[in-house]
Amino acid sequence: MRRILIVNSKGGCGKTTIATNLAVALAARGDDVALADADRQKSSLGWMKRRPAHLAKIESLDWTKEGAIGDKDKKLDAIVIDGPGGLRSELAKNLIAEASDIVVPVLPSAFDWQATVKFLDGIADIKRVRKGKADIFLVANRINRSSSQVAELEQTLAKKGYPVLCRISDRVVYAKHATSGSGVFDFSDARSSDIRGQWHPLLQAVD
């Protein structure tokens, strides 16, 4: 079973958007998936409550409390974890210590990538990451097509040894799906096909 942790110490980077849509992508292709919420804001749990029953099934797990991590032997293909902010809590350290993949969303601004580099340097000392047992994937999130900072962001992170895996555009459709408990992979409309295509490098990586 894969444990895919979505995490960054910088607030507002779109963790929940990445977590919910990644869970939908895996469930829509037939995987048995759970979405675990480990963030005190409980945004993913709220999204799950709004999710219509006719869409691809995703199990909901509440991991917002210390010591809540469990179900190690549950027969799932993957657990997508909407992680807590920062590394100070034991919960955050435990999640990273058991993750198969660590997905780090980062926004295209100097404040965000500086904070993200600091965060990545911090988790590099955690045993599982240090020994290469957990892969780290950076996702440039909420990218505006007219933004000139994206290339600079990718160059800055690459020089630090953290290449960006893919770019996720800033689109209104994500907010609409968040409101209705759905994701871009719940529907196969042509309008969203280019948006879904942006996720393919991440889906291939976590496989």
H/E segment holding residue 95 = helix 90-98
pTM for the predicted model, two decimal places: 0.92
Answer with the residue of higher pLDDT: 32 or 108.
Answer: 32
Give the residue-averaged pLDDT of 103-130: 86
**36: which DSSP letter?**
E
Token pair, residue 28, equals 């829509």
pLDDT of 161? 85
**83: which DSSP letter?**
P
pLDDT of 123? 85
| Mean residue pLDDT across the chain | 89
- Give the tens place of pLDDT for each residue, 64-100: 876 567 655 578 999 999 998 766 677 788 888 889 9
Contact between 150 and 108 (Cβ < 8 Å): yes
Residues 6+ apart with CB under 8 A from 59: 32, 33, 34, 35, 76
Residue type, 119: F
Which of 46-55, 97-106, 116-125 is least confident? 116-125
Instruction: Give the pLDDT band of residue 152 (cuts 50, 70, 90).
Output: confident
Indicate the SS3 state at residue 92: helix
Contact between 82 and 178 (Cβ < 8 Å): no
Rounded CA separation 151/108 (Å): 9
Token pair, residue 25, equals 């992508």
Q: Tell me the angle at which helices 43-50 and 172-180 cross, rounded to the nearest 10 degrees.
A: 70
Give the residue-averaged pLDDT of 22-34: 97
H/E segment holding residue 28 = helix 15-28
Helix and strand element counts for the chain (H, E): 9, 7
Q: How many CB atoms lie within 10 A of CB 66?
A: 10
